Amino acid sequence: MSQHINELFDKDGNLIGALLTAEAWTHVRKEVLSALGVKEESTSDIPREPLSDWETLKQYWDFSYPVDTNVHCEHCGNDTLDWAADEPRRFYLTSANLAGLVAFRCANCHSKIQKKHFKDEIKVECTPFQPDKDSSKEARY
């Protein structure tokens, strides 16, 4: 068919769907959604935070130090002692898992702050925002 379209068939050979490349999807997205009557959700600048993942990490916290809520951005100097208590938010939680990896997005400069919780220490990495990314390859939830 095309390098941009892969048709999917069931075991009996019936067409059940199609996969489009990111490039093809960006070209036909509006038309497909309109034809199917799908209304796009308004995308807010405020991301949905995985707070349930954070609560799960806190529930099973077994590190030798107390739960860590301070966040600091090395790139713009944004800083807070308790990211969850800030109103408006200075940092948005983007991920948290039981292994102790917690990531935030700076509300000021959009840098990514990763806090890696180890048995006896926390390692923090701050990565600057890259505005020239290919948006067709960016995950959205």
Cα distance between residue 48 and residue 140, in whole Å: 10
With a cut of 60, say whether residue 141 has pLDDT above it. no
Element (H, E) at 30: helix 22-35
| For residues 105-110, average pLDDT | 91
- Whether residue 133 lies inside any domain: the answer is no
- Whether residue 101 lies inside any domain: the answer is yes
Q: Are residues 68 and 110 in the same domain?
A: yes
Domain with 101, as residue range(s), is 51-127
Q: Write down the pLDDT at residue 132.
A: 73
Q: What is the pLDDT of residues 6-25, one digit of tens each?
A: 999 999 999 999 999 988 88
Q: Are residues 63 and 123 in the same domain?
A: yes
Q: Are residues 59 and 118 in the same domain?
A: yes
- Whether residue 42 lies inside any domain: the answer is no
- Whether residue 57 lies inside any domain: the answer is yes
Cα distance between residue 29 and residue 35, in whole Å: 10
CA–centroid distance for 32 within its chain: 25
- Whether residue 41 lies inside any domain: the answer is no
Q: Write down the pLDDT at residue 129.
A: 87
Q: Are residues 25 and 79 in the same domain?
A: no
Q: Are residues 59 and 82 in the same domain?
A: yes
- Res. 81 pLDDT band, cuts 50 70 90: very high
The answer, as to whether pTM is greater than 0.85, is no
Q: What is the pLDDT of residues 19-53, one digit of tens each?
A: 999 888 888 988 988 998 888 765 555 568 889 99
Q: What are the C-alpha distances in Å from 42 to residues 15, 39, 45, 134?
A: 32, 9, 10, 21
Q: Are residues 57 and 122 in the same domain?
A: yes
- Whether residue 46 lies inside any domain: the answer is no
Number of structural domains (the chain) is: 2
Q: Are residues 21 and 87 in the same domain?
A: no
